[in-house]
Structure 1
Amino acid sequence: MDLKQLEYIIHIAEENNITKASEKLFITQSALNQQLLKLEKELGTQLFVRSRNNWHLTQAGKIYVENAKNILRIKKDTYNQINDILETREGNLVIGLTPERGTQMFAAIYPTFYKKFPKVKIDLIEMPVKKQQVEILQGNIDIGFLTLQDFQKTNDNYIHLCFESIILGVPSAHPLAQVGGKLGEPLPEISLKLLENDSFAVMQTGSTLREIFNHLINEENISPHILLETRSCHTLFEMVAQGICCSVFPITYAKPSSAVSYFSIRQNPVWEVTASYKKDSYLSNAAKELIAMATDYWLDRVQVCS
């Protein structure tokens, strides 16, 4: 079996276009098409329904691509296991990171990782949690670093790194600010029911933090005004610090500030910082070491903010 041929078909399927696939593979479209036609002749069926701008898989094509990915995953797992036995400290890791915090974490731990595993090549993919989960399921990401609650987990594997509190921030001019607390001290508890007439900055729909916020307000049976939707937790904090509105965000994004008062929320929401990888896949020694470094990083961050 030609493993390179498997990669060719997977790329065409991912791009839904043979021209774009050939560009990514750095081969001519003609050469790629010849490989496809050769395979389809061997199988006795077409793998793609062709159109000018959009190719899509036939039923046979779906079966082929699914199993092609499994074969390549088995190959990678096999090589990783052998590399670990031989202690070569070589290989390749595809790492999923969430925007902002994920890249900050990786930049902090990579220099130490590189000293221990200089021959391990790392490819970084920055994307939201839900997209990472799809890529992990498909075997396109070896490790995804995610923040989520149990109800947001898939059937893949999750390694606990730490828990992080989700807190409420209100501007100093807010009527409740005088009974709020400061970082580093036990925060007074509050029900979001008391803020049902306030405006909030929240994460965009579809994000894990937005789902958590929605759960909280649904439990209180309130519908506060959503002033701003953003993709940045830093923006959530800044909106509160500038006195514009209230917000709910992870404690690691909070900063000591006279412009913000903090509360713990009645339901005591926390989310879990995790490392996730495809179910039944092999976790190499390099991957385990990277996860251990990430655990130390997050534990230090959460302890400083608590």
Structure 2
Amino acid sequence: MDLRKLEAFLTVANTGKYTDAADKLFISQSSLSKQMAQMERELGVKLFKKTRNGVELTQAGFDFYSYVRKMLPEYHCAADRLQMYREGGTYPLRIGSLPLAEEYGFANAFSSYWARNTSVQIDYFERSQKDLIDKLDRHKIGLALLRVDMLDPDKYSYVPLILDEIVIACSTKHPLSAREHVGLAELRNEEFILLEEKSDVTQIFRRACENQGFYPNAPLHHSRHRMLIKAVQNNMGITALPRRLVSTYLADDLAIVSLKQPLYSTLGLVWLADEPLTPINQKFIDYVCTDFNVNSGLEG
């Protein structure tokens, strides 16, 4: 039985559907079904039983799940540590980031770390928050630069790095552009262009609007903030984004308006709470925290 089958088993167990698990693993549903059937034959027990909505673990499957969920992180951690003993070997650092490293200055911190640690083998990914969390859960990356406002503290540990204010961005042709501050209730009749619905920024903003008695009218969503800003510049509506994502553009046709009731979002480096940090991951976190004048709170 290889590690890929164990990772596939965890994915099926966590999603409860072969179709969803296959999408996450980037394999066909038939291939995944064959892997799980082969695993059941090798173990001599049924791991899953069918339900109306998909599959669920049998009692044997649940016992096996409890073991695999602990074993896989320990294996990956041990494998990473053993690489440090290889003669001339490189130390692995697998990290993912939201597509905003340049706007927040992380690109400089990351590149300066890599320049000073040439023995570290870097695997770097830029993805959405949902994709990065999935990679963390499946142990494809050890660290991720994410928004931490809505993370489950029992499942994820993190070091907060930057607190950013959520503001309104609009075209200089929009009436709001003449304002320094605006109340949320005044935005009731505006048309918004927002980040995807599952984005922490969108959820924070939407909940604040609902507390003011309205649901923001947002006919257009996009996963990338750069596309939202372009749409705002073309007078397609207004948007709510962290200030740093807007101010770095320095565009003459773009205005930033603060909210009278401030909203904030926090970026941080995130890892699985039940997975011990490798020395390389901890060293990287300490380096970035020093660069941003933040206390990591981690003990070496």
TM-score relative to the length of structure 1? 0.71
Are 1:117 and 1:286, in contact at CA under 8 Å, matched by a contact in 2? no
Instruction: Give the residue type in structure 1 aligned to 2:265.
Output: W
Find the partner of 1:250 among 236, 242, 255: 242
Find the partner of 1:9 among 3, 6, 14: 6
- Listed as ranges, the matches of 1:253-292 within 5 Å are 253-254=245-246, 255-292=249-286
Would you say 1:199 and 2:186 are equivalent positions?
no
Name the structure 2 match of 1:237: 229
Coordinate RMSD, CA, aligned: 4.1
Tell me by how many angstroms 1:61 deviates. 2.9
Name the structure 1 match of 2:73: 73
Tell me by how many angstroms 1:164 deviates. 1.3
Q: Residues of 2 paired with 1:72 and 1:216: CA distance?
A: 40
**Counterparts in 2 of 1:34 and 1:234: CA distance versus 1, 3 Å:** closer
TM-score relative to the length of structure 2? 0.72
**Counterparts in 2 of 1:153 and 1:34: CA distance versus 1, 3 Å:** closer
**Counterparts in 2 of 1:85 and 1:158: CA distance versus 1, 3 Å:** farther
Q: Residues of 2 paired with 1:153 and 1:49: CA distance?
A: 28
- Give the paired residue count: 276
SS across alignment from 1:243: coil
**Counterparts in 2 of 1:120 and 1:70: CA distance versus 1, 3 Å:** farther
Tell me by how many angstroms 1:231 deviates. 1.1
Are 1:162 and 1:274, in contact at CA under 8 Å, matched by a contact in 2? yes
Name the structure 2 match of 1:182: none
Tell me by how many angstroms 1:206 deviates. 1.4
Q: Residues of 2 paired with 1:191 and 1:70: CA distance?
A: 48
Name the structure 1 match of 2:39: 36
Tell me by how many angstroms 1:275 deviates. 0.7
Tell me by how many angstroms 1:201 deviates. 0.7
Q: Residues of 1 paired with 2:108 and 2:58: CA distance?
A: 45
Are 2:167 and 2:256, in contact at CA under 8 Å, matched by a contact in 1? yes
Are 2:148 and 2:158, in contact at CA under 8 Å, matched by a contact in 1? no
Kindly, what percent of the aligned residue pairs are identical? 17
Are 1:237 and 1:249, in contact at CA under 8 Å, matched by a contact in 2? no
Q: Residues of 1 paired with 2:10 and 2:161: CA distance?
A: 35
Name the structure 2 match of 1:184: none
Instruction: Give the residue type in structure 1 aligned to 2:72.
Output: L
SS across alignment from 1:136: helix
**Counterparts in 2 of 1:87 and 1:101: CA distance versus 1, 3 Å:** farther
SS across alignment from 2:239: strand
Instruction: Give the residue type in structure 2 aligned to 1:199.
Output: E
Q: Residues of 2 paired with 1:81 and 1:212: CA distance?
A: 39
Are 1:89 and 1:117, in contact at CA under 8 Å, matched by a contact in 2? no
Q: Which is further off, 235-244 or 83-92?
A: 83-92
Tell me by how many angstroms 1:146 deviates. 0.4
**Counterparts in 2 of 1:57 and 1:107: CA distance versus 1, 3 Å:** farther
Tell me by how many angstroms 1:130 deviates. 3.9
- For structure 1, which runs of at least 5 residues remain unmatched after alignment? 180-187, 300-306
Q: Deviations over 1:243-263 (max 9, x none)?
A: 221111111221223322211
Are 2:158 and 2:269, in contact at CA under 8 Å, matched by a contact in 1? yes
- For structure 2, which runs of at least 5 residues remain unmatched after alignment? 13-17, 294-300
Q: Deviations over 1:113-134 (max 9, x none)?
A: 3344444334445443244335
Q: Residues of 2 paired with 1:270 and 1:131: CA distance?
A: 23
Are 2:193 and 2:228, in contact at CA under 8 Å, matched by a contact in 1? yes
Are 1:236 and 1:249, in contact at CA under 8 Å, matched by a contact in 2? no
